[in-house]
Amino acid sequence: MRVVILISGRGSNMRALLESDLASSASVEFVCVISNKADAAGLQIAAAHGVPTEVLEHRAFPDRASFDMALAARIDAYQADVVILAGFMRVLTEVFVRHYENRLINVHPALLPAFPGLDTHARAIAAGVKLHGCTVHFVTPEVDAGPIIAQAAVPVLADDTPQSLAARVLRQEHRIFPLVVGWLARGWVKVRANGTVALIQDRSIDADAALISPSAPSAN
């Protein structure tokens, strides 16, 4: 499975992918990392891992549509099977998203459909939720609304700040993003007709498992 990764900044999720077992897998090849910003720190990380890099500055284009068209041309030149948004800070046009339908994935720092958009950690704390987390999903024209592939949850602690909660969620992003890419490479991910995702070789889910937060106070 040929994979192109799109970044805009430090590329921490990209790093997690490149440092995972996927990088040595015969079934996954990271063929290029493309950034819309020349100063993105993730470009140096990708190069250090031996992955080709490109810069396509969005400011060089008159509008979003023309940039997306040029970006798609660069991705297609690598014959990418899957395109990964790893901190790519651009809202993509519908034409671009449709071109990569069910091949374009993103990780969002919330348990979708809760808290789409920005400032998810502050919003979760303000709402008083007891569980927060991250979601890997297929990208659709509606932002943060695509079919959910996998989620990871963490407890929201009484003294959490947006920064402390974000750090804990980010660790889970680094865990589940490589897992999902591996599932895609194995052909385990199927989008149902109703727009939800099934794992066709789903074999280790405990139907009674639960993460409860907060835990009940001790009787002692």
Q: Quick one: CA dihedral 102, 5, 63, 148, positive or negative? A: positive
pLDDT at 181 over 70: yes
Q: By percentage, how much of the chain surpasses pLDDT 70?
A: 95
Domain boundaries, the chain: 1-100, 106-202
pLDDT tier, 210 (very low <50, low <70, confident <90, very high otherwise)? confident
The beta strand positions in 36-102, using DSSP E, are 53-55, 82-85
Q: Which residues carry out catalysis?
A: 108
Architecture of the domain made up of 106-202: 3-Layer(aba) Sandwich (3.40)
pLDDT tens sequence across 21-40: 987 787 999 999 999 999 99
Question: For 1-100, CATH number?
Answer: 3.40.50.170
User: Rounded to two decimals, what is the model's pTM?
Assistant: 0.93
Distances (CA, A) of 96 to 3, 69, 79, 115, 196: 16, 7, 15, 24, 21
pLDDT at 204 over 70: no
